[in-house]
């Protein structure tokens, strides 16, 4: 039985056990490590925002900083989950670096979904700017 990534090979015209066109070990390594690097950079950026928004009592009281704080918290959860890339994936899925099982895969999926709350926080910040800048609230 093929894993989901292998079943979707027809979308990119790929054949065999390679996924997303990664038909060599080097390409699979890149597909595993690129999200890790980006996730680590995201964690650093969000951590700086956390630090900056809670430095002083005055900053903690501002609504914008409170929303940025929550956006960063949820982004860190999602980024940590993305940093694991294929590690929590079940070994029987034949993905490069897969060492997990069904439970670790579901846990990773849960935290990735928690990370998507950051998108909603971003929308909230946009609405905040709309209300304060355009409508003078």
Give per-residue pLDDT as tens, 67-99: 999 999 999 999 999 999 889 988 887 788 889
pTM for the model stands at 0.82
For residue 60, the surrounding DSSP H or E stretch is helix 57-61
Tell me if 114 sits within 8 A of 77, measured CB to CB.
Answer: yes
Nearest to 47 by CA among 1, 79, 95: 79
Reported as a single tens digit per residue, the pLDDT across 34-48 is 999 999 999 999 999
pLDDT score of 6 more than 60: no
Q: How far is CA 44 from CA 67, 77, 78, 110, in A?
A: 18, 12, 13, 22
Rounded percentage of the chain residues whose pLDDT exceeds 70: 85
Cα gap 63→125, rounded to integer Å = 9
């Amino acid at each position: 039985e093929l894993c989901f990534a292998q079943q979707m090979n027809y979308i990119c015209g790929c054949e065999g056990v390679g996924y997303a066109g990664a038909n060599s070990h080097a390409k699979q390594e890149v597909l595993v490590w690129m999200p890790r690097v980006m996730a680590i950079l995201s964690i650093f950026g969000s951590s700086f925002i956390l630090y900056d928004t809670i430095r002083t009592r005055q900053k903690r009281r501002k609504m914008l900083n409170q929303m940025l704080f929550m956006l960063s918290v949820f982004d860190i959860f999602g980024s940590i989950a993305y940093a694991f890339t294929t590690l929590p994936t079940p070994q029987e899925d034949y993905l490069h670096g897969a060492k997990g099982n069904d439970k670790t895969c579901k846990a990773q999926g849960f935290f990735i979904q928690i990370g998507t709350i950051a998108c909603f926080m971003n929308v909230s910040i946009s609405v905040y700017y709309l209300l304060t800048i355009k409508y003078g609230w």
